[in-house]
Each structure stands twice: as structure tokens, then as C-alpha cells.
Amino acid sequence: MFETIQGEGVFTGVPSVFVRLQECPVGCAWCDTKQTWEAEPEQERPLNEILVKTEDSPTWCSVTADEIVEQYRKSGFNAKHIVITGGEPCIYDLKPLSAAFEAIGCQCQIETSGTSEVRTSDATWVTVSPKVAMKGKLPVLDSAMIRANEIKHPVATQKDIDHLDALLDKANVGENTIIALQPISQKSRATQLCIDTCIERNWRLSIQTHKYLSIA
């Protein structure tokens, strides 16, 4: 759990506290948090050791929703925007955690691949970043696409946009859902493709500003 600036999507620029959960079965080739994929028993540590981590590692801890919120309060964070991410956060029931944060005046956002059922409070902002044809071979769920407030799709080539079109056609996403394209790894060709497509379709462009700024 750490405080920073949200670097991508609708809430770009908003001070945020990130709560990064362990484990992910999706297997994205370009993932920049592969240390979260597994929760090996020998890597479990007490909460106080996890909170002071200064670099990526596969160590993790087991805590309750109330313990996470209590630690947020003790840490003296200023940000009221809570980003629950991973790993794949939706492998867990997030209703207790989102409700606990909302009870102290925070707003929650979930960043999910859409491959697990979204279980959270009604007020939670759900960002689905659909992952198609990944190593884990998990389907993107129609229910996740329909629940999404924002669909933020990673793009490397035209094939990725074609995959998104198929998902949007199948899930019948609501007209108020925000659609954004996000170039993978700041590649110039992917960035131009996203720009051209967003202008053509009146979608949004999501740039990973935290990577350009070299912040967490």
C-alpha cells in the first residue's frame, strides 16, 4: 500500500493510495508486476515488513479489510481515492474492503482484467482493462464488461482493437461507459494507432503518465 498519483485512465493526476493485492492467473506477457502472480507460502511475511518494501518482490501478507483500512489511517495518507489493483484483485470478494474505505469517506476504484467476477460496492469505479488471449487462457467475462465504468484497453497492434470490438459487440456495454485505448510500453507505432482510432471513434487516449514521470 502506497500513496502516489494515478497515472492513467479517467483519474489521471488524482492523488491516490494504491492497495496492491497478490496473485494473478492471467499471465500478460508485458506485465510490469509479475512479482504479484503467485502467493508462495515461503514468501509470506508480516504486514509491517510488506509496508516498508521499497522494491518489487514476491513477498506478501494476509490481512483483513479492516486491517488494511486501519493501516491506511495510521499511515497518515492524504489521498481519498483508493485504487485496488494487483495482481488480479477480482479473484477476491472486494465488498468488505470497498465498504470499509467508503465508511471513512474514501472513493474506491478497481483495476481488473475482467477475467473474474466483479464483487464490490455499487459506488466503486470499475476500470476493466480486458486481457484477451493471454497465457492463462481466461475469457473476459461479459458481466465484467457490463459492470465497467471505464474500459481501458491495452493496444500494441490493430489486432488488439479488433479484440476490443468483438468484446464490445458481445457484451452490449452501456452508452455511458468510457472507452479508452492505452498504448503498450510507450511504443510510438502503438501510440499513433491509438491516437488515430480515438479521433475516429471519439474514444479517449490513456497515457501511462507515471512511466514518463518515473513515479510509482
* Residues in the annotated binding site for S-adenosyl-L-methionine: 30-32, 87, 129-131
Residue 31 has φ and ψ, to the nearest 5°, of -50, 135
Residue 56 has φ and ψ, to the nearest 5°, of -65, 135
Q: Is 63 exposed, middle or buried (0-12, 13-18, 19+ CB in 10 A)?
A: middle
Residue 144 CA: distances (Å) to CA of 120, 141, 168, 176: 11, 5, 11, 15
What cell was used for 202? 471519439
Query: Residue 5 and residue 114: Cα distance in Å, rounded?
Result: 23
Binding-site entries: 5-7, 20, 24, 28, 30-33, 85, 87, 129-131
Sorted by sequence, the CB contacts under 8 Å of residue 89 that are 6+ apart come out as 21, 110, 111, 112
To the nearest 10°, report the CA torsion of 167, 171, 177, 183: -10
Q: Is the dihedral of CA 176, 95, 49, 112 positive or negative?
A: negative
Binding-site entries for Mg(2+): 33
Binding-site entries for [4Fe-4S] cluster: 24, 28, 31
Binding-site entries for substrate: 5-7, 20, 85
What cell was used for 192? 499513433
